[in-house]
Structures are given as C-alpha cells and as structure tokens.
A = this chain, B = another copy of it.
Amino acid sequence: MTETSLPKSVTARAGTNIALVKYWGKRDAALNLPAAGSLSLTLANLGSETTVRFAGDAGTSDGRDRVLFAGAPAEAKFAARVQRFLDLVRTRAGLRLPAEVATTNTVPTAAGLASSAAGFAALALAASRAAGLRLSPAELSELARRGSGSAARSIFGGFAEMSTGTRTDGADAVAHGLLDEQSWDVRLCVAITAEGEKAVGSTAAMDRTALTSPYYQGWLASVPVDLEEARAAVLARDLAALGPIAERSALRMHACALAADPHILYWNPATVAAMSTVKGLRARGTLAFFTIDAGPHVKVLCRTADAPSVQASLAATPGVMRVLVLAPGPGANILHEK
C-alpha cells in the first residue's frame, strides 16, 4: 500500500473492561496467549482515545514512531511497547512508514482499572485502519491481545468471552461478544481505595504465580467451570447466578497470587472493608456482588436501579475515596477518519 492511499489519520476509542471470570496466567508470553478463558464487561466512560497517522513525516527525527500520551511524549517503556505493537501492524499491512500515535486515557493508568485493555483495543483499531487494513472483530481481538491480554475483550461491547484457544499461533485466542451493552441493565460501581500505581504489575505477578504458587494448576482447572456457569448466567441475564461466580473467580485469582512466593497481596484495609459492605448490602436484600482486579479497588456489579444505594454504601465505607458508577459500554469504534 502506498502512502497516498492511506487515511491521513484515524481516531478510535475503546472502553476498559472488567473481568468477571478472571484472566490470570499466560500459556505463551510472546504471543500473550491466555492459559485459561475469561469473561468480562466492557464499560462506557472509562476508556482510551487514540489517533494514529502513518506517514514519512510522522515519526521522530531518528525515524522512530512518535508516541504521545495525554499530549506529551510518552515514557520510554510505554513508547517501546507501542512501537513493538505498531511493528505487528506494519508487518501485516506491508508498510514501512513511521507513525505518530496520540493517546489519551480516561482510566487511571496502571491502578488496577485495566487501562491497557482500553488502550490497546483503541490502538489496534486505529492503527490497523490507519495502515489501510480492514480487520474483522475477531482479527482485531487477536491483534489487540498482542498488546495486552485483556485488550482482546475490549473490542466487544457489553459482555464478552475470551477463549483460550488451542492453536500455537494464537489465531483462535480471541474474544467474542455474548450480550451487547444495550441488552442488560446493570451497573458497575467502582470503589477507589487508593491512589497511584499498583504494587506488582499484572504480567510480572502472573509470571511469579505460575512459577511459585502451589495453587496455579488448581486455578487453571477451576476456570472452565466458572466460565461455563458465568456464560449461562449472562445469557439468562441472571444477576443472582452471575454474582457469586464473579466473587468466586476474583477471590480464587487473588488467593492464587497470595500463595505465590514471595506472596502477592493487592488488598488494602479499605478493600476488605468494601467487601464487607457488599456482603452487608446482600444481607439486606440488594443484589450486589464484588470483583477485584490486580489492584486494591472493589468493583460492584448491581442492577441499575440499585446503583445509587450501592454507591452510597460504598462511599460511606472507611478508606473508600470515591465511587464511580459505570454503565456497560460499546466495543472499540472509529471516532473519525481523515
């Protein structure tokens, strides 16, 4: 493809997603292939917006890709990760041009709110389109996965399921949509319990868990049951069935990491207090169920009608700083193309 036939620039956005059946462990680090499936909810509001332009003058003075984050040059580690991702896109498109990538995030970065999921889903869509490729949702999911395992799910709106796949090239390790964002009236209330970066990044934590936790095989063996039950509950729009599976999956993920050596503990006192708040809500008849990612925040799934009271209870929990109420959101989409 020649430079002149490419779009001048493409801007895409994607929402972050929160796994209800957790993703923890890779079967191939280079290809980012998951060791087990997962099931997630893509969220509106919290996401990434990314603009990509491939052109002779798009790169830096030394011919590398120019990567901007929130308007400023991105830090070296993140820029290198984006550049490696763009190499995949260039290879696929038969393109040799440098790119300018400008990304902004409405997810607190690296704080357990899955910023990389939204970021790489938006980047996969914007970069592939800017390179002249028209990928199917499954192909986009596969591409996004190479950037971040959880990004494969943010290609889809609402509830999505990620498959482990069996192929060594990863072509079947992709997500698919289960129920779009319009189809089930639920909310996710996110209780923020700390500021700043999480203690251990999830890739490093997954590696340590796989190598040292005596529970890692038990974890992997438990996921297919959770997935099957969670999928059925989502398709039936049955919150009372889905909630306990989500709590079980989250706690087993954390338990598996806690058993690593050295142990990995993402919780702070407010994390435990917020779990207790959720159990209290349930004891009083509110269908509310928590999940926790690789960070200290507590995310509570409930019916839309119950979200105000869930939010208020979480906000009144000692140590909880603020509570975001998030709706299901659409999958990755193009905002504009010039």
- A residues near B, CB below 8 A? 213-219, 221-222, 244, 247-248, 251-252, 254-256, 258-259, 261-263, 265, 267-273, 275-276, 318-319
A selection of 9 A-B contacts at a CB cut-off of 8 Å is A213-B218, A214-B215, A215-B215, A215-B259, A216-B218, A255-B256, A256-B259, A269-B270, A269-B318
A248 closest partner in B (C-beta): B261
Contact between B247 and A254 (Cβ–Cβ < 8 Å)?
no
A251 proximity list for chain B (CB < 8 A): 258-259, 263, 265
Contact between B258 and A265 (Cβ–Cβ < 8 Å)?
no
A247's partner among B214, B221, B263 (CB-CB below 8 A) is B263
A271 proximity list for chain B (CB < 8 A): 272
Contact between B255 and A215 (Cβ–Cβ < 8 Å)?
yes
A256's partner among B215, B217, B222, B272 (CB-CB below 8 A) is B215
Inter-chain CA distance A218–B213, complex, in Å, is 9
A-side interface mostly: helix
A275's partner among B254, B255, B265 (CB-CB below 8 A) is B265
A263 proximity list for chain B (CB < 8 A): 247-248, 251
A215 proximity list for chain B (CB < 8 A): 214-215, 218-219, 252, 255-256, 259
A221 proximity list for chain B (CB < 8 A): 214
A254 proximity list for chain B (CB < 8 A): 255, 258
Tell me which of A259, A261, A268 has the highest count of chain B C-beta atoms within 10 A of its own C-beta: A259
A259's partner among B252, B267, B272 (CB-CB below 8 A) is B252
Inter-chain CA distance A113–B304, complex, in Å, is 43
A269 proximity list for chain B (CB < 8 A): 269-270, 272-273, 318-319
A318 proximity list for chain B (CB < 8 A): 269
Inter-chain CA distance A74–B125, complex, in Å, is 70
Tell me which of A213, A218, A219 has the highest count of chain B C-beta atoms within 10 A of its own C-beta: A218
Distance to closest chain B CB from A113 (angstroms): 20
A254 closest partner in B (C-beta): B258
A216 closest partner in B (C-beta): B218
A248 proximity list for chain B (CB < 8 A): 261, 263
A222 closest partner in B (C-beta): B214
A268 closest partner in B (C-beta): B272
A216 proximity list for chain B (CB < 8 A): 218
Distance to closest chain B CB from A191 (angstroms): 13
A262 proximity list for chain B (CB < 8 A): 244
